[in-house]
Amino acid sequence: MKINIRVFGDLVSTLGRRQTVELDEGATILSLTNRLAEKAGLKRQGYLGNHKVNGDELAVLVNGRNIRLLNGLETILHEGDEVVFLPPAAGG
Amino acid sequence: MPRGYAGKFLEIDLSKEQIKDITITESVLQAYLGGRGLATKILWDRLGDSWAKVDPLGPNNMFLALTGPMTAIYPGARICCSGKSPLSNGTVGSTASTEFAAELKMAGYDGVIVTGKANRPVYILVTDEGGEIRSASHLWGKLGEDTIRILNKEVTEELTKRKPNIGLWREPGMIYIGPAGENRVRNAAVMTKICHAAGYGGYGAVMGSKNLKAIVAKGRSKLPEVDAPEAVKLLWKEVHRHLIAENGFRRMGTGYAGYSVGADTSSEPIRNWQEEWHDERRFGGPSFETRYWVKKLWSDFNCTTSCMKLSCIKTGRWKGDITDMPDYELQAYCGTNLGIFDAGDNIHISTVIDNLGHSGINGPNTMGFAAELYQRGILTKKDLGFELKWGDAAAFEKLAWLIAKREGIGDILAEGTFRAATKISKMKGVDVAPYAVHVKGIEIGAHGTRSDADYTHDISYAANVQGGDHTSVAVDGYSELSSAVFTDSAVICNFCFFWVPRALVFDFAKAVTGFPITMESWKKENGPRIVALQRALLLLGGPDITWTPIEDDENPPRFYEPLPSGPHKGKTTSRDQVKQKRQVYFETLGWDERGVPKKETLEKLGLNDLEPAMKELRK
Amino acid sequence: MWPEASRIRIFMPFPGLEVPHLCAQCDDYPCIKSCPVEALSKDQATSAVLVNREKCISCGKCVTACPGQIPFLHPKDNKATICDLCGGDPECVKVCTEASYNALALVQEKPTVDRKLFAKPPIEVAKDLAVNLFGEKGEKVI
Rounded distance, CA B469 to CA B329, Å?
12
Nearest to A90 among B494, B580, B583 (CB): B494
For chains A and B, having 3+ Cβ pairs within 8 Å is answered yes
Contact flag B519-A68 (C-beta cutoff 8 Å): no
Rounded distance, CA B107 to CA A29, Å?
52
Q: Rounded to 5 degrees, what are φ and ψ at C21?
A: -130, 115
Q: Are strands B322-324 and B9-13 parallel, antiparallel or unpaired?
A: unpaired
Check: CB of residue B93 under 8 Å from CB of residue B40: yes
List Cα–Cα distances, B29 to B23, B24, B36, B107, B514, in angstroms: 10, 7, 12, 20, 12
What is the dihedral sign for C-alpha B480, B483, B486, B487?
negative
What is the span of the domain harbouring residue A53? 2-86
**In the complex, which subunits touch B with 3 or more CB pairs below 8 angstroms?**
A, C
Q: E strands within B180-226?
A: 190-192, 196-198, 212-218
**Chain A residues within an 8 Å CB radius of B249:** none
Rounded distance, CA B537 to CA B440, Å?
13
CA geometry: angle B396, B400, B406, nearest 5 deg: 140
**Does residue B528 have a pLDDT over 70?**
yes
Check: CB of residue B96 under 8 Å from CB of residue B540: no
Chain pair B-C, CB pairs under 8 angstroms: 99
**In the complex, which subunits touch A with 3 or more CB pairs below 8 angstroms?**
B
Check: CB of residue C47 under 8 Å from CB of residue C24: no
Q: pLDDT confidence of B18, banded at 50, 70, 90?
A: very high
List Cα–Cα distances, C123 to B149, B269, C4, C129, in angstroms: 12, 42, 18, 10
Q: Residue A45 sits in a domain of what CATH number?
A: 3.10.20.30
In the chain, the amino acid numbered B503 is A
| Crossing angle of the two packed helices B393-405 and B343-356, in degrees rounded to 10 | 10
What is the dihedral sign for C-alpha B585, B589, B590, B592?
negative
Which residues fall within 8 angstroms of residue B368, CB to CB, at 6 or more apart?
A: B269, B271, B272, B273, B333, B337, B338
Check: CB of residue B480 under 8 Å from CB of residue A71: no
Among B529, B524, B512, B534, CA closest to B234: B512
**Chain B residues within an 8 Å CB radius of C3:** 102, 106, 223
Contact flag B319-C135 (C-beta cutoff 8 Å): yes
pLDDT digits (tens, 9 = 90+) for B562-599: 999 999 999 999 999 999 999 999 999 999 999 999 99
Rounded distance, CA B359 to CA B234, Å?
38
The 3-class secondary structure across B449-502, one letter per residue, is CCCCCCCCCHHHHHCCCCCCCHHHCCCCCCHHHHCHHHHHHHCECHHHCCCCCH
Residue B60 CB neighbours (<10 A): 16
Nearest to B295 among C11, C16, C140 (CB): C16
What is the dihedral sign for C-alpha B276, B280, B283, B284?
positive
In a domain, A92, yes or no: no
pLDDT digits (tens, 9 = 90+) for B107-121: 999 999 999 999 999
Q: pLDDT confidence of B200, banded at 50, 70, 90?
A: very high
Q: Give the mean model confidence (pLDDT) for residues B429-442.
A: 98
Stretch (H or E) spanning B203: helix B203-209
Q: Are strands B196-198 and B212-218 parallel, antiparallel or unpaired?
A: unpaired
Bigger pLDDT: B135 vs A90: B135
pLDDT digits (tens, 9 = 90+) for C96-105: 999 999 999 9
**Chain B residues within an 8 Å CB radius of A57:** 501-502
Chain pair A-B, CB pairs under 8 angstroms: 72
Give how many domains chain A has, as a whole number. 1
Contact flag C142-B149 (C-beta cutoff 8 Å): yes
- Rg from Cα positions in chain C: 16
**How many Å lie between the alpha carbon of C44 and the closest alpha carbon of chain B?**
26
Nearest to B478 among A66, A88, A91 (CB): A66
**Does residue B196 have a pLDDT over 90?**
yes
In the chain, the amino acid numbered B436 is A
| For chain B, the helix, strand and coil percentages under 3-state DSSP, each to the nearest 5 | 45, 15, 45
Secondary structure of residue B417 in the 3-state scheme: helix
Rounded distance, CA B396 to CA B387, Å?
10
Q: Starting at the edge strand that comes first in sequence, how are the strands of the sheet with B173-176 ordered?
A: B130-135, B122-127, B212-218, B173-176, B190-192, B196-198
Rounded distance, CA B575 to CA B560, Å?
8
| pLDDT for A90 | 65
ipTM of the predicted structure? 0.97
| pLDDT for B256 | 79
CA torsion B320-B321-B324-B328 (nearest 10°) is: -150
**Chain A residues within an 8 Å CB radius of B445:** 91
Beta-bridge mates of residue B135 = B122
DSSP characters over B328-342: HHHHHHTTGGGT---
Secondary structure of residue B611 in the 3-state scheme: helix
**How many Å lie between the alpha carbon of C101 and the closest alpha carbon of chain B?**
9
pLDDT digits (tens, 9 = 90+) for B53-87: 999 999 999 999 999 999 999 999 999 999 999 99
List Cα–Cα distances, C57 to B74, B124, B555, C36, C78, in angstroms: 37, 34, 68, 9, 9
Residue C113 CB neighbours (<10 A): 12
Q: Give the mean model confidence (pLDDT) for residues B253-281.
A: 90
Nearest CA in chain A to B475: A64
CA torsion C33-C47-C7-C18 (nearest 10°) is: 100
Rounded distance, CA B147 to CA B141, Å?
9
Q: pLDDT confidence of C57, banded at 50, 70, 90?
A: very high
**Chain B residues within an 8 Å CB radius of A69:** 478, 588
In the chain, the amino acid numbered B27 is S
Task: Choose, out of B146, B171, B308, B347, the residue to mutate when testing the contact with C (most C CBs < 10 Å).
Answer: B171
Among B38, B21, B166, CA closest to B534: B38
pLDDT digits (tens, 9 = 90+) for B227-245: 999 999 999 999 999 999 9
pLDDT cut 90: percent of chain B above it: 95
pLDDT digits (tens, 9 = 90+) for B160-183: 999 998 999 999 999 999 999 999
Nearest to B584 among A9, A17, A65 (CB): A65
Contact flag B329-A89 (C-beta cutoff 8 Å): no
- The separation between the first and the last C-alpha atoms of chain A, rounded to the nearest angstrom, is 40
**Does residue B262 have a pLDDT over 90?**
no
User: Rounded to a whole number, what is the largest CA-CA distance in chain A?
Assistant: 42
Rounded distance, CA C122 to CA A7, Å?
52
Contact flag B471-A69 (C-beta cutoff 8 Å): no
DSSP state of C136: G
pLDDT cut 70: percent of chain C above it: 100
| pLDDT for A88 | 75
Check: CB of residue B508 under 8 Å from CB of residue B241: no
The 3-class secondary structure across B275-295, one letter per residue, is ECCCCCHHHCHHHHHHHHEEE
Residue B191 CB neighbours (<10 A): 33
Q: Rounded to 5 degrees, what are φ and ψ at B383?
A: -65, -40
**How many Å lie between the alpha carbon of B5 and the closest alpha carbon of chain A?**
27
Residues of chain A under the 70 pLDDT cut: 90-92
**Does residue B141 have a pLDDT over 70?**
yes
Secondary structure of residue A6 in the 3-state scheme: strand
The answer to pTM > 0.80 is: yes
Q: What is the mean pLDDT of chain B?
A: 96
In the chain, the amino acid numbered B529 is R
Q: Report the CATH number of the C17-141 domain.
A: 3.30.70.20
Which residues fall within 8 angstroms of residue B37, CB to CB, at 6 or more apart?
A: B31, B93, B485, B488, B489, B526, B529, B530
